[in-house]
């Protein structure tokens, strides 16, 4: 038993003695029968989403979203022959990040909020039903450290979590990694240890999660378009900060994509005890989804890199943000999050299916060796920049970025569910 310093989780931890090898090599005909499995096996053949510590500032996010997409795939196709390889790959990705994430205060200072995207796989493999022993280097140890790193993360005066090292800056991007993990962690802890203190901790975590969502909303939302800018500076001193709200000037597709996925994935894990928050998040999600559907490019069906400046010179349809919107809209519909808005549900599904078709036709590349590539994903866009229009449209395109291809898997899984109905 290991007791965490901050959140006091009586965590039982799993010491893993693993020698996991990734499933590399040939793409089987079975894997090629679906976009999701084909892209997944291609990512695996490229050994992507495995942390080396040398892959730059977005390595933890790359691992985290790869784990999320592959885990969703394994859950959707439990009986496919390919699924055991997929699960082994998720495990090897979790193994690769675990040693980097054992120290909560270090994690909070050294990595952006994106680090938290890895928490799900770590929790999956340290479930209370597993055979657990305590010890450093363990998955549960990393999951607890990640949770505690939220308490060490620096915040602005309104309680908004800094995205990373930049004083007072909060970004939409961080929400995908923070929100669903933060809530899920507490729901599982409370289930494992049903005591009043844990029940209160869950509600506090849900409250804090909603507070983060809401701060970003109130600082960055453009009331006329309904879209949210990339982030805000609570001190209003950054060169790009709006003097009133602190908001950055542009609506960056992928950052809003992260935020949209965060809302849907958080709704999915919210406990029944949090119905008040469910209503608040649903209200935001319905409003945002409607703005996202309105912002779709009518000609192609994709979404622009700078979402609210369609057709401006240099702007283009970006393949990671577009896949994230397609996923969020389809999953949001499937889980009934537009239940009070049948028109929105139907336009959301149409837009997402059309968007996915466009992504498949335009950005999915069939390589001669049988793998799929994924094109059109912008590399990192940081607010540690001028944050001008020219900056966003001038950032390079990364071929085979998992930030795009893993989101494409998530969108494809939703499309495949519909096709199977």
Ligand X SMILES: *[C@@H]1O[C@H](CO)[C@@H](O)[C@H](O)[C@H]1NC(C)=O
Among 369, 396, 420, 421, binds ligand X (CB under 6 A): 369
Nearer to ligand X, 17 or 342 (CB): 17
Q: How far apart are CA 154 and CA 148, in angstroms?
A: 12
**Contact predicate 337/280, CB 8 Å:** no
**Taking CB under 6 A as the criterion, which residues in 284-343 touch ligand X?**
308
Nearer to ligand X, 232 or 342 (CB): 232
Nearer to ligand X, 19 or 369 (CB): 369
Q: Which of 212, 239, 223 has the alpha carbon at shortest distance from 156? A: 212
Q: Among 120-128, 266-274, 324-332, 367-375, which window interacts with ligand X (CB under 6 A)?
A: 367-375
Nearer to ligand X, 81 or 342 (CB): 81
Q: In angstroms, what is the minimal distance from the CB of 134 to ligand X? A: 13
The single residue listed with the structure tokens 């289930």 is 191
Nearer to ligand X, 14 or 342 (CB): 14
Q: Among 58-66, 186-194, 371-379, 386-394, which window interacts with ligand X (CB under 6 A)?
A: 371-379
350 binds ligand X (CB under 6 A): no
Kind and range of the H or E element at 373? strand 372-374
Nearer to ligand X, 342 or 388 (CB): 388
Q: Which of 107, 115, 114, 185 has the alpha carbon at shortest distance from 153? A: 107
Nearer to ligand X, 192 or 365 (CB): 365
What would the two tokens of residue 8 be? 């006091």
Residues ≥6 apart with Cβ < 8 Å to 372: 38, 39, 42, 364, 365, 366, 405
Nearer to ligand X, 162 or 338 (CB): 162
Among 28, 76, 105, 395, binds ligand X (CB under 6 A): 105
Among 99, 283, 346, 367, binds ligand X (CB under 6 A): 367
Cβ-defined contacts of 311-316 (< 8 Å, 24+) = 312/389, 314/389, 314/390, 314/393, 314/394, 315/393, 316/376, 316/393
Among 375, 380, 391, 418, binds ligand X (CB under 6 A): 375
Question: In 145-295, at which residue ranges do the beta strands (DSSP E only) sit?
Answer: 169-171, 231-233
**Taking CB under 6 A as the criterion, which residues in 25-84 touch ligand X?**
33-35, 45-46
Among 5, 21, 275, 384, binds ligand X (CB under 6 A): 384
Please report the sign of the dihedral spanned by the C-alpha atoms of residue 306, residue 294, residue 285, residue 183.
negative
129 binds ligand X (CB under 6 A): no
Burial class (CB in 10 A: 0-12, 13-18, 19+), 46: middle
CA dihedral 114, 116, 121, 125 (to 10 degrees): 150
Gyration radius (Cα) of the chain, Å = 20
Q: Report the interface residues with ligand X, using CB under 6 A.
A: 33-35, 45-46, 103, 105-106, 131, 165, 207, 210, 222, 224-225, 308, 356-357, 360, 365, 367, 369, 371, 373, 375, 384, 399, 415
């Amino acid at each position: 038993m290991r007791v965490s310093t901050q959140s006091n989780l009586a965590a039982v931890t799993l010491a893993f003695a693993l020698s996991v090898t990734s499933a590399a090599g040939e793409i089987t005909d079975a894997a090629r029968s679906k976009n999701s499995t084909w892209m997944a096996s291609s990512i695996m053949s490229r050994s992507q989403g495995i942390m080396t510590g040398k892959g730059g500032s977005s390595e933890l996010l790359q691992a985290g979203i790869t784990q999320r997409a592959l885990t969703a795939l394994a859950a959707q196709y439990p009986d496919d022959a390919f699924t055991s390889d997929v699960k082994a790959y998720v495990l090897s990705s979790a193994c690769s990040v675990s040693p980097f994430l054992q120290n909560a205060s270090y994690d909070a200072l050294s990595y952006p909020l994106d680090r938290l995207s890895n928490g799900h796989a770590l929790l999956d493999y340290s479930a209370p039903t597993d055979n657990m022993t305590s010890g450093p280097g363990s998955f549960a140890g990393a999951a607890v450290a990640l949770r505690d790193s939220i308490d060490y993360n620096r915040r602005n005066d309104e309680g908004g979590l800094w995205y990373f090292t930049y004083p007072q800056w909060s970004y939409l991007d961080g929400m995908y990694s923070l929100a669903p993990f933060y809530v899920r962690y507490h729901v599982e802890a409370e289930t494992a240890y049903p005591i009043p203190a844990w029940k209160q901790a869950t509600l506090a975590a849900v409250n804090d999660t909603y507070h983060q969502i809401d701060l970003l909303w109130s600082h960055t939302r453009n009331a006329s378009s309904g879209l949210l800018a990339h982030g805000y500076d609570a001190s209003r001193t950054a060169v790009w900060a709006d003097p009133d709200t602190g908001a950055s000037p542009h609506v960056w597709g992928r950052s809003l994509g992260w935020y949209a996925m965060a809302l849907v994935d958080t709704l999915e894990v919210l406990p029944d005890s949090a119905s008040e928050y469910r209503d608040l998040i649903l209200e935001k999600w319905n409003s945002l989804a409607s703005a996202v559907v309105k912002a779709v490019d009518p000609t192609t069906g994709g979404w622009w890199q700078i979402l609210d400046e369609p057709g401006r010179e240099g702007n283009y349809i970006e393949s990671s943000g577009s896949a994230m919107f397609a996923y969020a809209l389809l999953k949001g519909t499937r889980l009934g999050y537009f239940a009070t808005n049948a028109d929105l549900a139907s336009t959301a599904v149409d837009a997402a299916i059309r968007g996915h078709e466009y992504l498949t036709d335009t950005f999915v590349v069939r390589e001669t060796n049988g793998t799929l590539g994924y094109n059109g994903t912008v590399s990192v866009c940081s607010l540690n920049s001028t944050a001008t229009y020219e900056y966003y449209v001038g950032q390079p395109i990364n071929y085979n970025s998992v930030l795009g291809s893993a989101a494409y898997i998530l969108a494809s899984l939703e499309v495949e569910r519909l096709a199977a109905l």
